[in-house]
Amino acid sequence: MKHTLFFILFIIFAPLVFCQENREVKNEVGLFISDLINGTYSFTYERAMGKHISVGLGFGIKADDGFIKFSGLDTDNIKTADISYTGFKITPEVRYYIHQKGNAMFTGFYFGAYTRLVNYKTDLSGIYIDSQDVSHYFLYKGDIDVNSVGFMIGYKLPVTNHLKIDFLIAGPGAGYFTFKLKDVIPPPDEFYDDLNSALEKYSFLDFLNADFQFKKTNLKEKLTLPSFRYGLSVTYSF
């Protein structure tokens, strides 16, 4: 019985003692500081795999606040409130650190690849003025799904033995967007031609040349658009 108990204790505590002696840590958690500006609480987990490679997983929750907001539509026929959204994002990634630091969490320059799954929900409400100058209140529930893939380059700066600052310098990629609207209080049929025209001229969508074609019988649109990642995070290894 004593031998069995000793064996169990050895199995539990031996890895801890070994890690203390070698001072090698393979796990790291982090908080994306830059995402807080947009009301998103993003957390990361990274695990060292071998001498240069690590794998990671990020998870973020978007609250209905933040400094970055989208202005509403304001045309002769359609006027809406400012657009806010909530949702979540999941980001698996793999990294290759250029400088070898042993089988522990790495620092310095890295490059890698990522994929991202995003779901956002929003409301679109406002007033539509038809060709007869009659005003109609409308309300839609919006749903946005984004599946993106891309590459990234960054630099991880050590501050202490465990604390680091991770600079994600650039992460260009391609995103596959699905926009869906659910009519709660629908306007007249002619509303959709005016909506599509307004969206084509709407801020960054016009810059991306996004061609929306919503119809009463088709409130779903798919587009392939550029995507980009960047940011600043603080991490802790253990």
**What structural domains and CATH numbers belong to the chain?**
2-237 (2.40.160)
Please give the pLDDT value at position 16: 44
Decide if pLDDT at 209 tops 80.
no
64, with CB counted inside 10 A (0-12, 13-18, 19+), is: exposed
Decide if pLDDT at 20 tops 50.
no
Please give the pLDDT value at position 216: 64
pLDDT band with cut points at 50, 70 and 90 for residue 65: confident
Residue 161: Cβ within 10 Å count: 9
> Are the C-beta atoms of residues 106 and 54 closer than 8 Å to each other?
yes
Q: Is the four-CA dihedral 73, 78, 83, 86 of positive or negative sign?
A: negative
* CA distances in angstroms from 225 to 67, 202, 204, 214, listed in the order given: 24, 15, 11, 18
Give the number of C-alpha atoms closer than 13 A to the C-alpha of residue 201, restricted to the C-beta side: 9
pLDDT band with cut points at 50, 70 and 90 for residue 50: confident
C-alpha torsion angle, residues 8, 12, 18, 21 (rounded to 10)? -110
Decide if pLDDT at 210 tops 70.
no
Decide if pLDDT at 202 tops 80.
no
Give the number of C-alpha atoms closer than 13 A to the C-alpha of residue 141, restricted to the C-beta side: 2
Distance of alpha carbon 64 from alpha carbon 150, whole angstroms: 27
Please give the pLDDT value at position 144: 92
Task: At 194, give phi and psi (nearest 5°).
Answer: -70, -35
Beta strand extents in the chain (DSSP E only): 27-32, 40-49, 53-62, 78-80, 85-97, 108-129, 135-158, 163-185, 220-237
Please give the pLDDT value at position 217: 62
Please give the pLDDT value at position 7: 40
* Choice between 159 and 64, residue whose per-residue pLDDT is larger: 159
Residue 34 parent element (H or E): none
Please give the pLDDT value at position 232: 96
